[in-house]
Amino acid sequence: MSKASARPLTPQYRTISQTSASQKALPLSLKTSGTSANAGENKSKILRMLMFGKPGAGKGTLSARLVKKYEILSLSTGDLLRQHIAERTEVGRMAEEIVATGGLLPDDIMLKVVTSKLDMLHNKHWILDGFPRTLGQGKLLDDHLKTRGTPLSLVVNLDVADEVILSRISDRWVHLPSGRVYNLSYNPPKVPGLDDATGEPLTKRPDDNPEIFARRLEKFYASTSPLLAYYKTEASRTTRIASLSGSTSDEIWPQLEGLVRTSFPNLKERAETREQRLRHSLSDAVISRSEHDSLTKY
């Protein structure tokens, strides 16, 4: 996409700083909101996390990296809903009827879908994906978790500039069968236009265009910005609110990992991750020793 085609976005759409509700939402910092917890409390804290960001900001990529490296459960609202429908639960039958007619699920039904799982995870670290999306949903979830004694412990906002995301989605190509995503700017396929693993053609997602992105961005400002403002003003001493900035997921990842490791020191790496790191360390040590031995021969 040419720069000219991207230019109309600037005058057409509000930036976060131009949105009254979001003015309260985005001056977030890495400091803990409310009274800071002492070291003993910090060690026992459980990660119960929400991640927000504009469409294309990298929420899915960064959540996946956390889940892959650490013992964290990723809970997708869509997956939970499909499970309820498949298992013919009471809430699943109610949801199926509404979905079949093309309607939107009421907030109370969505809350039941989500909390039916969350209520079983008292001592588990988790990230919730897809809920809440509106201020009303956020208040319902917040109230429910607090009554169960399992309040949110971390809310993260990914602050990525509009123009960066537009450029990112313009350069994005996907292998639809596998879901593998490529970006011509920083993660191009080995052979232009073809998937690295299968050699099959890559395609553009239907919503990867400026017009649809602009509509999704407006929806974000209308619904998510007030929700972020709510968490900023209503956060208790148990909930940490943070905003992480960057142009790519690779830039934001060290900030996110550092925040999580500092705030939740009892969070464990997955066994396979530790084993891989150990193998790499041993391999590096062997290489270093071999290089040293060959140098000392002369």
Is 78 assigned to a binding site? no
Is 156 assigned to a binding site? no
Is 77 assigned to a binding site? yes
Is 136 assigned to a binding site? no
Is 93 assigned to a binding site? no
Is 32 assigned to a binding site? no
3-class DSSP string for the chain: CCHHHHCCHHHHCCCHHHCHHHHHHCCCCCCECCCCCCHHHHHCCCCEEEEEECCCCCHHHHHHHHHHHECCEEEEHHHHHHHHHHCCCHHHHHHHHHHHCCCCCCHHHHHHHHHHHHCCCCCCCEEEECCCCCHHHHHHHHHHHHHCCCCCCEEEEEECCHHHHHHHHHCEEEECCCCEEEECCCECCCCCCECCCCCCECECCCCCCHHHHHHHHHHHHHHHHHHHHHHHHHCCCCCEEEEEECCCHHHHHHHHHHHHHHHCCCCCECHHHHHHHHHHHHHHHHHHHHHHHHHHCC
Is 58 assigned to a binding site? yes
Is 18 assigned to a binding site? no
Is 131 assigned to a binding site? yes
Is 260 assigned to a binding site? no
Measured in whole angstroms, the distance separating CA 89 from the mean position of its chain's CA atoms is 28
Is 104 assigned to a binding site? yes
Is 57 assigned to a binding site? yes
Is 296 assigned to a binding site? no
Which residues on neighbouring strands pair with residue 269, listed in sequence order? 70
Is 82 assigned to a binding site? yes
Is 115 assigned to a binding site? no
Is 264 assigned to a binding site? no
Q: Which residues are annotated as a binding site for AMP?
A: 77, 82, 103-105, 130-133, 137, 205, 216
Q: Which residues are annotated as a binding site for GTP?
A: 56-61, 172, 181-182, 249
Q: Which residues are annotated as a binding site?
A: 56-61, 77, 82, 103-105, 130-133, 137, 172, 181-182, 205, 216, 249
